[in-house]
Structure 1
Amino acid sequence: MTRSIRILVLQFASIGDVVLTTPVVRCLKKQLPNAELHFCTKRDYASLIAYNPYIREQHYLDGNVYTLIRQLRAVRFDYIIDLQNNFFTGLIKASLAVRSFSVETQSFREWLYVRWKINALPDQHIVERMMATVQPLGVENDGRGLDYVIPYKDEIETDWLPITHQHDFVAYVIGGQRLTRRLPVKRMIELCRKINYPVVLLGDKTDRTAGEEIVKALGERQIYNACGHYNLNQSASLLQRARVVFSHDTGLMHIAAALGKKVYSIWGSTTPQFGFYPYKTPHVRLEASGLGCRPCSATGLGNCPMKHFKCMNNLPFDFEVKELRTKKKNLE
């Protein structure tokens, strides 16, 4: 009987980063059938990995890293796949003292791009860099894109939605980890007016106030403010039901990509050149090109350092949504 190979995958950064690891997890399990995959992340991201069929065990950081390390030591792993590669994951690798493979970081090149606007970054999606991490184990990218499993209990029923949005709508993810990765509310209103279709707004409870302003401007017949009403998997279910998805550079954008939706991705202080654009799904990039101040950050900032916020204020809405050529008569 062949002994199982116990492999620990590490990623703690964000919702989107965890979703972006799913091709690595799938390819490891499918191409190394005797692999027993364990995934370690923050407790807040439990719903992202709990239903993944390729993961045998989940391990969570609940605050104390040394408690987590003791728990991981007891498992006796054969390999560690570090898909974050920072000081924190380095501490875990050093403590477990087993062979590890770590994703190549681009910190210096990202600094050059942000500080001096010298783009020496490879034309490569972050998923491809993650997949390169497991090539020494003989694992290759199968090209199937991202995975996301919505449990049955979190699938949205039609009658949970307003009657105006029960059968056909566009999803717009208005949240974003930093202010400079989100359109100002007045521009969100402008975008929704341009879409001119029933729109479901998605985000957490901190985005609810912005959603209420959009509803006030455009009315409940066009806008349903779902921000803060649904958990992450339920929000994913709404993405799955949507005709198309508009999204800032955030975790739900990657979930939409995993569900195979066409994504209109909105870029402000960050740029797709960092390698975090929608993966293996049809997508359109909406961004204000030609600005000498952009990018001002690889991850977004709390405020525009130049005070003008042109990357979002000047972002053109000159796109055509071919999927929405037939407008709803009740929105005329």
Structure 2
Amino acid sequence: MVMAQSLFIALKQQTPDCLIDVLAPAWSLPLLARMPQVRQGIAMPLGHGQFGLGARLRLGRQLRGRYDQAIVLPNSWKSALVPFFADIPLRTGYLGELRWGLLNDARRLDKKRLTMTVQRFVALGLAGDAKLPPDCPIPQLAIGTEQRQQAREKFSIDAVKKILALCPGAEYGPAKRWPAEHFAAVANAKIGEGWQVWLFGSDKDRPVADAIVELTGGVCRNFVGETTLAEAVDLLALADAVVSNDSGLMHVAAALDKKIVAVYGSSDPGFTPPLNPAAQILSLKLACSPCFKRDCPFGHTRCLIELGPEQVLAALEADR
């Protein structure tokens, strides 16, 4: 969703008066609310993997007559059904799962020219014969002064000490997660310098967050599983620096223009990098990576274990 903001910005640059609504999972609506280019987010009534033909038909009928164009970012066949049922005149997307008919502006994806996810998104907002790869605007989430103050008051934030945010989760799998002891070593070093350290993530990240808390003597403030997405975004906006695996929160931090160190293991920093030129990307670039596996196929996860805390600390000290 953060990468999709580059498309929204590009659309507004081309046609400043265009109105952009986004059909998306309900959990992502707080992100859309912090994107000035988006008029409104519409909650998709179906969860991931649900087909729900009837629900898609009903939603499509509700949306009829309201839009001139639909840009379909997912490549699945079912994701093109709502715009089709809504009878939107121009329906743009990649051919994906043979979506002839569902899309009337179906394009073939040239993976050699569009090597990054964000490029693929932005290209769909351009004419079919546009020069590729496109220029991709940097995502910028807008957090107002009132939102920041509400976060400070609700969570009793110490506004004096510098804040290091750690995002130790990665829902895809262990091969994307830097070891808890490495995160803890970075946390202990910054705590020793007088910083406060916060942990962020979802309920699924509680085990790794609890391990980091234990390894730091309970000093870290653990927000994992304790905030809504909106609250997590607003709290991240208060941070001075962020260390993260390749995850959704990494992209959020980049869009908040934070000083960020992004750690890559099994994934490719060339495909889904943090979309901020000031971000520090760390990857050992071993011969076996990126493998894009959830678990290390060799059982050693050297791409993460051998990337030491001292390298992350050095990146944090580097000028932006």
TM-score by length of 1: 0.74
Partner of 2:243: 246
Does the aligned pair in 2 maintain the 1:262–1:281 contact within 8 Å? no
Partner of 1:329: none
Q: In 2 relative to 1, CA 321–313 (structure 1 residues): closer, same or farther, beyond 3 Å?
A: closer
Aligned to 2:22, which of 35, 39, 59? 39
How much does 1:321 deviate?
A: 4.2
Structure 2 runs not aligned, ≥5 long: 47-51, 97-110
Does the aligned pair in 2 maintain the 1:269–1:295 contact within 8 Å? yes
Query: Does 2:276 align with 1:280?
Result: yes
Partner of 1:241, secondary structure, is: coil
Partner of 1:60, secondary structure, is: strand
Identity %: 23
Aligned to 2:64, which of 61, 67, 75? 75
Does the aligned pair in 2 maintain the 1:168–1:242 contact within 8 Å? yes
Partner of 1:173: 167
Partner of 1:226: 223
Q: In 2 relative to 1, CA 69–40 (structure 1 residues): closer, same or farther, beyond 3 Å?
A: farther
Partner of 2:177: 182
Does the aligned pair in 1 maintain the 2:60–2:85 contact within 8 Å? no
Query: Does 2:141 align with 1:148?
Result: yes
Does the aligned pair in 1 maintain the 2:182–2:308 contact within 8 Å? no
Report the aligned-residue RMSD: 3.1
User: What are the equivalent positions in structure 2 for 1:1-332 lying under 5 Å apart?
Assistant: 18-63=1-46, 64-73=52-61, 74-76=63-65, 77-96=67-86, 98-102=89-93, 122=113, 124-136=115-127, 144-150=137-143, 152=146, 155-157=150-152, 160-161=155-156, 163=158, 167-177=161-171, 178-196=173-191, 197-221=195-219, 223-274=220-271, 276-290=272-286, 292-297=287-292, 300-301=293-294, 303-317=295-309, 318-321=311-314
How much does 1:250 deviate?
A: 0.8
Deviations 1:183-222 (Å, cap 9, x if unpaired)? 232333233345454311111222223222222221244x
Question: For residues 323 and 229 of structure 1, what CA distance do their matches in structure 2 show?
Answer: 26
Question: For residues 65 and 321 of structure 1, what CA distance do their matches in structure 2 show?
Answer: 52
- Aligned residue type for 1:240: A
Q: Name which structure has the greater RCO, CA cutoff 8 Å, separation 6+.
A: 1
Structure 1 runs not aligned, ≥5 long: 1-17, 106-119, 326-332
How much does 1:255 deviate?
A: 0.9
Partner of 1:135, secondary structure, is: coil
Does the aligned pair in 1 maintain the 2:33–2:41 contact within 8 Å? yes
Does the aligned pair in 2 maintain the 1:175–1:203 contact within 8 Å? yes
Partner of 2:105: none
Q: In 2 relative to 1, CA 121–85 (structure 1 residues): closer, same or farther, beyond 3 Å?
A: same
Partner of 1:273, secondary structure, is: coil
How much does 1:309 deviate?
A: 1.5
Partner of 2:2, secondary structure, is: helix
Partner of 1:176, secondary structure, is: coil
How much does 1:45 deviate?
A: 1.5
Question: For residues 45 and 241 of structure 2, what CA distance do their matches in structure 1 show?
Answer: 36
How much does 1:264 deviate?
A: 0.3
Query: In proportion to residue count, which structure has more helix?
Result: 1
- Aligned residue type for 1:307: G
- Aligned residue type for 1:147: Q
Deviations 1:245-298 (Å, cap 9, x if unpaired)? 111111111111111112100111112122x111134111122222x321221x
Does the aligned pair in 2 maintain the 1:240–1:259 contact within 8 Å? yes
Question: For residues 321 and 238 of structure 1, what CA distance do their matches in structure 2 show?
Answer: 24
